[in-house]
Structure 1
Amino acid sequence: MTISTTIITGFLGSGKTTTILNLLNTKPSNEKWAVLVNEFGEVGIDGALLSDSGALIKEVPGGCMCCAAGVPTSVALTALLRQQPDRLIIEPTGLGHPKEIIALLESPQFAPYLTLNATIALVEAKHLSIPRYVENDNFNQQLSVADIVIANKADQATEQDRQRFEQWAKAQTPPKQHYQFSEYGNLPLSLLDTTRVLEDAAHSQDPHNHHHHDHAQQQPQFELTPQQRYIRKQNQAQGYYSCGWVFGAELVFPYQSLFDSLSALQCERIKGVINTDEGCFSYNNAKGMITITPITLEGFETRLELIHSAVLNWEEIEQNLCQLVSL
């Protein structure tokens, strides 16, 4: 019996992880689900956020699944399949090409074990009016290969944004199987079982015709050694730059000072799982929309990732972070 598999894709900050968390919270109690997470950054934030969900979680940080971490992706996917979950959800990076992960899942290595359902793409309706998004190759690929398109964060969309999204969705050829608006990533579970129609989507582009990451041959995961208090890792591709830090679990940040500092940064995306003197929190800043949520992780290292369309002063940011924990 094959494992029902769904790709949930979407550009940076579209709400993929929140959507998956909501789906996991409503899954049937007798089912075992697995999630394979890929991130553009190196420090594995999303996997930490999902780790308390009760699902089987594997991470492939450090770029798109196909080029930056092809072998680690296959290893992680195989490890999940060996545990025979009832359902598999795959979250590619918001800066990756979904056609390549579709091609991997359809390859002889994995096709006998999976039933690939309709791909779901999340989009913010307001982005369809912003040239930087509608001219971005990844953004357009994510929408083109999707059978289902969800205009997430509908509460932030104007009436003009909503009309533009509906006009776009109705004009697609071949037509989308389903499209709708959503708030906070709330989707019906039934969408996960929608049959895939865009059978040739994965083969319409040369899988090597895209930007590779500088560290494609390196190990994508990195951890603190016993002697290290923190480490930093950087990545760049597709016109974006990321810098991430892992701080040892023994280091506790002052809640107010840290979040004041993060909120003051001019950065397109900041996300983290952070130990503070008031407990453990997830921090998500997507283009100025900030969410701080308490989570139940204990003894977990602080992980912080910044992603921006220009290089920031990483050294200064790091110095400020270190000062907050007296390093």
Structure 2
Amino acid sequence: MSSRLIPTNIITGFLGVGKTTAITHLLNIKPTHEVWSVLVNEFGEIGIDGALLQGTNAHVREVPGGCICCVAGLPMKMALNMLIARTKPDRIIVEPTGLGHPEEIINTLTGEYYDTLLDLRATLTLVDPRKLSDSRYTGNASFNDQIAVADVLVANKTDLCAPDDRANFDGLATSFQPPKAAAFAVSQGQLELAWLDYPRQQHRLQHPQHHAGQKAAANRLSPQRELYNTAIQLPEGEDFVRRENQGGGFHACGWMFRPDICFDFNGLFGWMSGLPAVRAKAVMNTSEGIYMFNAEQGVLSVKPLAEVAAQDLGDSRLEMISESPIDAQPLEAELLAFRLV
């Protein structure tokens, strides 16, 4: 294969599995002389992962607002073309939304035009083994097909797993015919660079009709939605903006605030711990400094971003995803009650 083709990988997995942590780890251990570019897609329209990756040694481009191949097909191609033209990367990583389906991304990256630019290698699918005994996940079509398209299957968060969870993953990993190229178990997203270079294989989807239905529904959206500008801007003179989105049985609501607006850390911590959401993430300017908040099924973790000063923070962002419609107005009032400045 020609050396001019850019090695490219898809790193996928369901909500909360730790994709961004894993990609950050890879960027921290990549060869120092190589230029890597990351294309990030999120279900919500505000987008958090791109902000979290901005401090890494890579070029990052976001496509928020739904499944990257269904809702944002044209912005995906525009963002990818821009990354290739401007950064001339040695490798590209694509992170689809945890609610998305990577099949059409694979088809795009191996289709006309990109087949002369990209060398699509292994798709890595991260799995939280604890979810393999939860019918809310095992009965989800996207969850199962993310696993089906994996070339390399990775059990993440194994430090939090019970022996039965690990046994469930091991059984899953050996159940595929043809078999996966490889399967590994890690904690804290500690992927190895060599795993990216496993070859791409052909896969049989379990629910191909599910994704076809989602794509058809997305194609009925307005032209304005299809051409959605991936860079949300605060309206002039406004302190914050709220954006909402829904699709595939999930609902998202997010806020973006001016970077100088500060929130009470303790109040924000307690509020995010009780959010009625499947998933919530935030990067916020707080009374204790810049912090990342990460909530999954009511369990909240926080991490200080000591390397980011308030004046360097592009903005504060918070996004939540729920299986039920989100009543945004009272939530917004509660959130604003923690504003200090």
CA contact (8 A) 1:275 1:300 kept: no
- Aligned twin of 1:24: 27
Instruction: Note closer, same or farther for the CA distance 1:63–1:139 as it changes in structure 2 (3 Å cut).
Output: same
1:217 to partner: Cα distance:
2.4
3-state DSSP of counterpart to 2:7: strand
1:119 counterpart = 2:123: yes
- Aligned twin of 2:161: 157
The whole-number CA distance in structure 2 between the counterparts of 1:53 and 1:103 is 28
3-state DSSP of counterpart to 2:57: coil
1:218 to partner: Cα distance:
4.8
Equivalent residue for 1:104, pick from 82, 105, 108? 108
AA matched with 1:304: L
Kindly report which structure 2 residues correspond to 1:1-327, keeping only aligned pairs within 5 A, or say none. Answer: 1-82=4-85, 83-198=87-202, 208-210=212-214, 212-213=217-218, 216-221=225-230, 222-295=232-305, 296-297=307-308, 298-325=312-339
Q: Which moved more, 1:12-21 or 1:220-229?
A: 220-229
The whole-number CA distance in structure 1 between the counterparts of 2:273 and 2:296 is 11
3-state DSSP of counterpart to 2:9: strand
CA contact (8 A) 2:252 2:326 kept: no
Q: Please identify runs of 4+ aligned residues in structure 1 that moved more than 3 A.
A: 204-209, 211-216
The whole-number CA distance in structure 2 between the counterparts of 1:241 and 1:206 is 18
CA contact (8 A) 1:271 1:282 kept: yes
Q: Which moved more, 1:64-73 or 1:290-299?
A: 290-299
1:259-305 CA deviation, whole Å, 9 max, x = no partner? 12111223221101101122111111122332211223323211000
The whole-number CA distance in structure 2 between the counterparts of 1:207 and 1:183 is 30
CA contact (8 A) 1:69 1:220 kept: no
CA contact (8 A) 2:125 2:152 kept: yes
1:188-238 CA deviation, whole Å, 9 max, x = no partner? 11001111122787xx76974325455742515321022111111111112
AA matched with 1:117: R
AA matched with 2:252: S
TM-score between both structures, scaled by the size of structure 1: 0.94
3-state DSSP of counterpart to 2:213: coil
AA matched with 2:320: L
The whole-number CA distance in structure 2 between the counterparts of 1:47 and 1:265 is 22
Instruction: Note closer, same or farther for the CA distance 1:152–1:75 as it changes in structure 2 (3 Å cut).
Output: same
3-state DSSP of counterpart to 1:117: strand
AA matched with 1:112: T
AA matched with 1:302: S
1:14 to partner: Cα distance:
0.6
1:173-196 CA deviation, whole Å, 9 max, x = no partner? 111111121101101110011111
The whole-number CA distance in structure 2 between the counterparts of 1:128 and 1:207 is 21
The whole-number CA distance in structure 2 between the counterparts of 1:123 and 1:231 is 33
3-state DSSP of counterpart to 1:324: coil
CA contact (8 A) 1:248 1:301 kept: yes
1:109 to partner: Cα distance:
2.2
TM-score between both structures, scaled by the size of structure 2: 0.91
AA matched with 2:226: Q
The whole-number CA distance in structure 2 between the counterparts of 1:11 and 1:323 is 32
Q: CA RMSD in A?
A: 2.0
CA contact (8 A) 2:45 2:243 kept: yes
- Number of equivalences: 327
CA contact (8 A) 1:9 1:122 kept: yes
3-state DSSP of counterpart to 1:49: helix
Give the unaligned 5+ runs of structure 2. none
The whole-number CA distance in structure 1 between the counterparts of 2:185 and 2:203 is 25
The whole-number CA distance in structure 1 between the counterparts of 2:24 and 2:103 is 24
The whole-number CA distance in structure 2 between the counterparts of 1:256 and 1:326 is 12
The whole-number CA distance in structure 2 between the counterparts of 1:243 and 1:220 is 17
